[in-house]
A and B are shown apart, each in its own frame.
Chain A
Amino acid sequence: MVELDPILDMDFVGAGGVVVRAREFDSRILAVEPVMGDSAVLTLSLPPGMAGSLRAGQFVDVLCRVEGSYDPLLRRPYSIFRADPRTETMQLLVRPYGRGSAWLASRPAGTILDVLGPLGNTFQVNPRSRNLLMVAGGVGAAPLVMLTDHALADGRNVTYLMGAADADALLPASYLPSDVEYAVATDNGSKGHWGFVTDLVPEYLRWADQVFACGPEAMFRSLRAVASAHRLGGKPRIQVSVERTMACGLGACLGCVVETKHGMQTSCVQGPIYDMDEVVW
């Protein structure tokens, strides 16, 4: 029995003190770009004013079923890949991993989606941080692209490391701003370093003021090993975006909790971004 954090302390306040209100809205698929092999980047319309309030690390919950069907029953969470206040749009990176995402990745432009969001907390960039290191595994590339956009706009330096099964599954460099250093690793050596993306991390740890990571559990495992072998005094700090099966997305069902040093937390509201050292892995 653990004394729980007060649930009222849920943090609905995004970066910069902007209160970001979640809502259920209709969104039109404006464009579909095939990317990373079987995945797709979807460009979606947003209610007026929402794009500018979105922060890197947040996600949206998309209902992935034909109207009139109850299957798949639950929404699917997607990190926001990019947001553009000028065109009032956002982009999602969708990998057809399960039934819901396979349905979504194959929707044609013009489809109207039922979207709930924005949800979750945000990556926190220290105002004094000059150099940011991104560590992406597969479809985990998504929230780090938006963070990269915002970091560059704020005048910071970004190195983006990405790992995937093979060259086809890597995020094309054209999706990243040109002044980002982009280094890649593949499981089969078809491009970049032959091995894990985390093999590339040690040489950047002295340069980076902060590290941000998103990827599969196996990547977090090796990132923790690299961090414990190569970091000094717990620096630089590492923020991770975790993935859990979710139902409500609003902190009500308690299905997606993450055990942290501060007790059980809902990854949909108190997460999905955590300091890696605060999570009980």
Chain B
Amino acid sequence: MRWSGEGSVGFASRENRSLPSDGETDGRRLMAAPSLAVDLAPGNPRELVLANPVIAASGCFGYGLEYAEVMDVQRLGAFVSKGITPKPRSGNPMPRITETPAGMLNAIGLQNPGIRGFVKKYPKLWEAWKVPAIVNISAESVEEYAMMARILDEQPGVAGIEVNISCPNIAAGGYCFGWDAVMSADVTRAVRAATTLPLIVKLSPGAVDIVSVALAVEEAGADAVSLINTLVGMAIDVRTRRPVLANATGGLSGPAVKPIALRMVYQVAVAVRIPVVGMGGIMGLNDALEFFFAGANAIQVGTAIFAQPGMLIRLIDDLEDWLRREGVGSVREIVGVALPAGLPTRQAATEADVEIDFAAAVAAG
């Protein structure tokens, strides 16, 4: 159930979750500071309530520690770790990145210490942190995804899991999980069965039909979806006549992808009832607002951090200032306002729908 602000019957309100009041009901909303809080797993008893909707995206923020000296990491709504895999990976050969017009291509190759190396170091450090740490996981089989989720389930410093389904499925001859609704649902169901942690499934823009993938992972027990992952692209060096990246292709990110990301968020937000986390080329407040208006409950910032790490905190401040200037009591009120018929929760949610969804979520969990 999505937080949409206006009279929706979300679980959070029904269960008296401790989200700060909008100040809307008592008619004093202009006097109170705007509420930035969002709940990304309203159907999940383990909760994923963020103090604000600004999240540092996976692959762009390391493990949080890398940025600790240049910014106040604890002020973020959340951050998502570098993608973790079942085994350690040394990543792709160099060059791994190249700049493109208003964007960049990367083919890092998921360099990471593996799930076991990862849990030895980071969760216990994060336990003392105020900011929720979400762990991004990637694997090449359904069983491996579930295995990682089981390990993460017991880690005290982990607030949630983001499942990267933009990986080749070895059992399906390397066809990407995230391009196919059935395979995406298989992964989601297996991870859901392995953990009660809040579960965000990160959708691939390479999907034949991203809406059907979103609906399939919602049905399979995802608490939220995030989108978009990078688009596969390439650059060729005209001097050497060879691809610039050693991997030939790489993931395109940055302002260049924003219109595509926004369109996909808009389409998915119309269809699903779980929270939507939008990302793709967000460089500042205006971009973020577009994503909220398109139906994102929260946003992730990735590539922009590389250029200006300070923009993350500025974005939180700018958003709060904007809400105050506009006389909006809560960021939840602006979610989906660009959708022609509003959010699905507003048009269709009934008590009966809610009960059914809740029962399914509990059964899956």
Contacts and interface: CB of A to CB of B under 8 A. Distances in A.
Interface of A: 1-4, 6-8, 10, 12, 21-24, 63, 70-75, 114, 116, 244-258, 263-264, 269
B117 interface: yes
Given A12-B69, A73-B303, A245-B98, A4 B60 contact: no
B102 A70 contact: yes
Contacts of B65: 7-8
B63 A245 contact: no
21 contacts: A2-B90, A3-B88, A3-B117, A4-B117, A7-B62, A8-B121, A12-B69, A23-B69, A24-B309, A74-B104, A116-B70, A245-B97, A250-B70, A252-B66, A252-B305, A253-B60, A253-B97, A254-B96, A254-B111, A264-B90, A264-B91
A8 B120 CA distance: 11
A11 B98 CA distance: 26
A6 B121 CA distance: 8
Contact of B308 (A6, A12, A63): A63
Contacts of B310: 24
Interface in B303-340: 303, 305-310
Instruction: Give the bracket for the number of chain B residues in contact with chain A.
Output: 35 or more
Given A245-B95, A253-B108, A74 B306 contact: yes
Nearest to B283: A70
Interface of A is mostly: loop
Contacts of B309: 24, 116, 248, 250
Given A1-B89, A24-B309, A74-B104, A255 B117 contact: no
B365 interface: no
Contacts of A24: 70, 308-310
Interface string B57-75: 0011111011101100000
Contacts of A263: 90
B104 A73 contact: yes
Contact of B108 (A6, A116, A244, A254): A254
Contact of B306 (A4, A8, A247): A247
Interface in B85-108: 87-91, 94-99, 101-104, 106, 108
A117 to B, nearest CB: 10
B254 interface: yes
A73 B90 contact: no
A22 B97 contact: no
A73 B102 CA distance: 6
B23 interface: no
8 shortest interchain CB distances as A-B pairs: A252-B62, A255-B97, A2-B90, A252-B66, A247-B306, A70-B255, A248-B306, A70-B102
A70 B96 contact: no
